[in-house]
Amino acid sequence: MQPQFSYRDHARAVLGLGLPLIGSHLAQFAINLSDAVMLGWYSVSALAAEVLGGTLFFVFFIMGSGFAWAVMPMVAMADSAGEEAQVRRYTRMGIWASLLFAAAVLPILLLAEPVLVALGQDPEISALAGDYLGLHGWSILPALMVMVLKSYLSALERTQVVLWVTVGAVGLNIAINYLLIFGNLGFPEMGVRGAGVASLIVTTASMVALVIYAARVLPQHTLFRRLWRPDRDAFAAVFRLGWPIGITNLAEVGLFAASSVMMGWLGKLPLAAHGIAMQITAVVFMVHLGLSNTATVRAGQAFGRGDGPGLRAGAAVVVGISLVVAALTMVVLLIVPEVLIGLFMNPLEPDREGVIAIGVGLLAAAALFQLVDAGQVMALGLLRGVQDTRIPMIIAALSYWAVGVPVSYVFGFTLGWGGVGVWLGLAIGLAFAAILMMARFWAWSSRAGAARMN
């Protein structure tokens, strides 16, 4: 008989696991945020280039992270069943799949300028973005290995080390940016290329720190002994679960990447305002992403134990916490948008007022999609926990690309609503995904899933 937990017990467990994960996601995002803020203070052109280059990098990074995110529920379930060999096998093959993907997409990142020009972006900004990715692009290799190790450690509820390694990376990134973007303390002034160098150094350092921790603190898993040896069965299992997650990630981030391309058609100032607004809303999304990862681990553990009531109660608690955060965010975005946007701009920047004026409208639109954005990422986390990834992939692709992108174009260009219209289209695509995926999880957990687990 399964132990019964109260909602308060579930809340304690969610916050105990989730707060360090939220902190690590916020710290990870702070690396990107510090790039945006410091390049925004350097020049609007550098900021716009980082928006374009960073968006292209993130598209491939988040797609490749599908294999890392597959490791999380698989390790959580294996660990709850006491199967240490399976923990090792799944993590190793997650590393294999991630590095193979990184090697495949690396040439595109290193030769990004013609790709961006072909997408209709400003040639000057595309050239700067190409310079940025010529260095930052190499980070895809250590970055995806870091994601696998974070998933492995999170599934084992060793989230504190993930948090502190990421916090250390933030400080290192800011220090190197200070030296190389602006040319301080005798270092060369490299502008956007300096941010690319910083990203590569910081990501590599994070990977080394997590490898050392895993090898020394968890020697029983022997993750890196004979890592070169293939494990076909485990690789196939990780691939089967991971590729739909990667495509789902691609569908979602592709929606936002498409919005960046459309904002680029409107000009440099709308693109810069869009980049700032995306950074602001992404800070809050990191909270929901941490809770979503928590939902994946907790659901994976309940799934491994066959605990249907615990799965449903835990899901209700983590979704409720996420929705409270979303409601509070809506209030902040509507009350102080000028203050938030102004943080990203040099007070002496000639285009400051124009960027702020555009950004205020974008944040008002962003406030509208907070609830649905929280809903869709929480549903994805829960479904991944019970290893349901293929149907959510189809739902995501249809919601984001058959609904979100066309509506963004119609609102932004056909109806002439500009950037605000593009962002309203994003909200509608996210709403479709949230409703359909939440309905799928609760239907599964109440009927077929309950019958299978109880």
pLDDT digits (tens, 9 = 90+) for 103-159: 999 999 998 888 888 878 788 888 888 999 999 999 999 999 999 999 999 889 898
User: Residue 293: what residue type?
Assistant: N
Task: Please give the model's pTM, rounded to 2 decimal places.
Answer: 0.77
CA–CA dist 33, 364 (Å, integer)? 20
More confident position, 15 or 103: 103
Q: Would you state the pLDDT for residue 211?
A: 94
Task: Give the three-class secondary structure for 230.
Answer: coil
More confident position, 275 or 291: 291
Torsion of CA 406, 409, 412, 416, to 10 degrees: -110
**CB-based contacts of 302, cutoff 8 Å, min separation 6:** 308, 310, 311, 314, 385, 453
- 294-304 pLDDT, tens digit per residue, is 998 888 888 87
Task: Give the three-class secondary structure for 40.
Answer: helix
Task: Please give the average per-residue pLDDT across 306-312, as a whole number.
Answer: 83
Q: Angle at the Cα of 31 (from 26 to 37), degrees rounded to 5?
A: 105
Among 34, 13, 43, residue whose Cα is nearest residue 350: 43
CA–CA dist 198, 42 (Å, integer)? 15
Among 123, 127, 410, residue whose Cα is nearest residue 262: 410
Task: Please give the average per-residue pLDDT across 429-433, as a whole number.
Answer: 93
How would residue 173 be classed by pLDDT, with cut points 50, 70 and 90? very high
More confident position, 46 or 178: 178
How would residue 3 be classed by pLDDT, with cut points 50, 70 and 90? low
CA–CA dist 296, 248 (Å, integer)? 15
- 315-351 pLDDT, tens digit per residue, is 999 999 999 999 999 999 999 888 888 887 777 777 8
Contact of 34 with 194, CB cutoff 8 Å: no
- 379-424 pLDDT, tens digit per residue, is 999 998 888 989 999 999 999 999 999 999 999 999 988 888 988 9
Q: Angle at the Cα of 266 (from 425 to 34), degrees rounded to 5?
A: 80
More confident position, 268 or 290: 290
CA–CA dist 11, 84 (Å, integer)? 28
pLDDT at 451 over 70: no
SS percent in the chain: helix, strand, coil, step 5: 85, 0, 15
Tokens found for residue 185: 């303390």
CA–CA dist 39, 49 (Å, integer)? 9
pLDDT at 1 over 60: no
CA–CA dist 73, 85 (Å, integer)? 15
How would residue 4 be classed by pLDDT, with cut points 50, 70 and 90? low
Tokens found for residue 241: 């679960």
Which residue shows structure tokens 């991971």? 242
